Structure formats: structure tokens, C-alpha cells
Amino acid sequence: MRLIPAIDLIDGKCVRLTQGDYHQKKVYNENPVEVAKEFEEAGIQYLHLVDLDGAKSGHVVNHEILGNITHQTNLQVDFGGGVKTDEDIKKVFDHGARQVTCGSIAVKNREAVLKWMDQYGANRLILGADVKGREIAISGWTETSGVSIFDLVHRYTTEGLNYVICTDIATDGMLTGPNFELYKELLETFPLIQLIASGGVSSVEDLKKLKTLQVEGVIIGKAIYEGKITLEQLSNLSYA
């Protein structure tokens, strides 16, 4: 199981939101490159980088920070937020992302995502399935789509997309524990997907429980910034 710390970007700063609410924003560091270097120094290999400005505006905004992180560290970065056009995705890959998360675009423009799968390879794309209940939320979590997460995952796995990040918005930033039941149900329904759990991780015990579910990776955000899980603890876990 890969351990994947998260950096969320607003105005070029490292922030965390609570349940995706832009009005519940807390700035943790004004230099996200420094944060990324701290992760690498602790033995972390992966990073989940979210362009919240991009998600809200509908186009990639913080690509320069992505480039700074990938040039100044060896972290393998997956990037999401605002990827809507051929120009956006090319920009993100050109700035060093290993994978790109397709969120709103996967709901709104399936043809574009299928084209990118063909152009870049299915394993360089991740389906970003952000849910309220069982319904997909889009546009920086500001809208619900009316699409079930199970329908969306089925729609893309039948086309060969393997990686899925599932974020339960109700638990995100709450430090109350992940939605284990949802992840269990997804893996029972789609046993071949590479599922990355996101939202609510609050302790090493949560990580151990997710490992027993056999998720491929887990994204850890506020728990690190609030000191609930230390970088030393992450470096001592031999999951990756």
C-alpha cells in the first residue's frame, strides 16, 4: 500500500479545507516546495498535489509549483485540479507529473478522457471519484453531478482505466476516520481496480485498517499537518 501525502494549493500556498469548503481554509505553509522536500527527507516517495485554484476556475493554475516540486525533489507526483483541455494535461505532464487525476472532466467529457488514455496510456490517468454519499461531486466539490460512483467507475474500468482515487467529502479534513465501508464495497464490486483511499485518515490505526482492505494507496492530508500522524511514523511504515 502506497502512502501518499497531500499538498493542496490555493494562491500558491499549502492549505487544507474542511469537507471541501473553500471558506474553511487553513494555511499550513506558504512554501509548498519546502513541504515536499520535508516529505522526501522522511523517505516518502509519492505526493498528491491538488490545484484548488484550478479546480475552482476550470483550468490549471499552479503548474509552476508542480514544476518546482518535480525539479527539486524525486517525488512521484499525481496532479489534479482544473485539468479540462488538451493544453491543460500537456502542461501538467510537461511540468513533471507522473499521473493526472481526472475529476469533473470524467463526468462532463468522457471522450476527452478516453482520448488522453489512448495518447498518454491508461496508467498515467487516475479517475478522481469525489463523493457525497454515493453521488459524484464536481467543480471543486461545489456541484453534485447526479452520477453514482459505481456507474462512473464502471464506465471507465470497462475502457481500461485502472487507477481510482475515491474521496469521501463527508470525512475529508474531519480527522474522524475514513469511509471503510465505501472502499470495501468498491473493491468487492471492482476487484481489479487500483483503489486509492482519500479522506478522513486520522491515525496509524486507520492506515493499518485500510491496508487490510487491500487498497493500492492512501492519501494523507490534515492528519500530517495537525500532527496526528508524524513523518517519522510514516517513514517507519514499510507499506510502499
Q: Which positions are annotated as active-site residues?
A: 8, 130
How far is it, in rounded angstroms, from Cα 37 to Cα 176?
Answer: 28
The conformation of residue 167, written as its DSSP 8-state character, comes to E
CA distances from 37 to 16, 31, 43, 69, 73 (A): 18, 10, 10, 8, 6
Strands (E), 154-214: 163-168, 194-198
Q: Any idea what the Cα angle at residue 57 is, between residues 136 and 40, rounded to 5°?
A: 80
How far is the C-alpha of 79 from the C-alpha of 207, rounded, in Å? 22
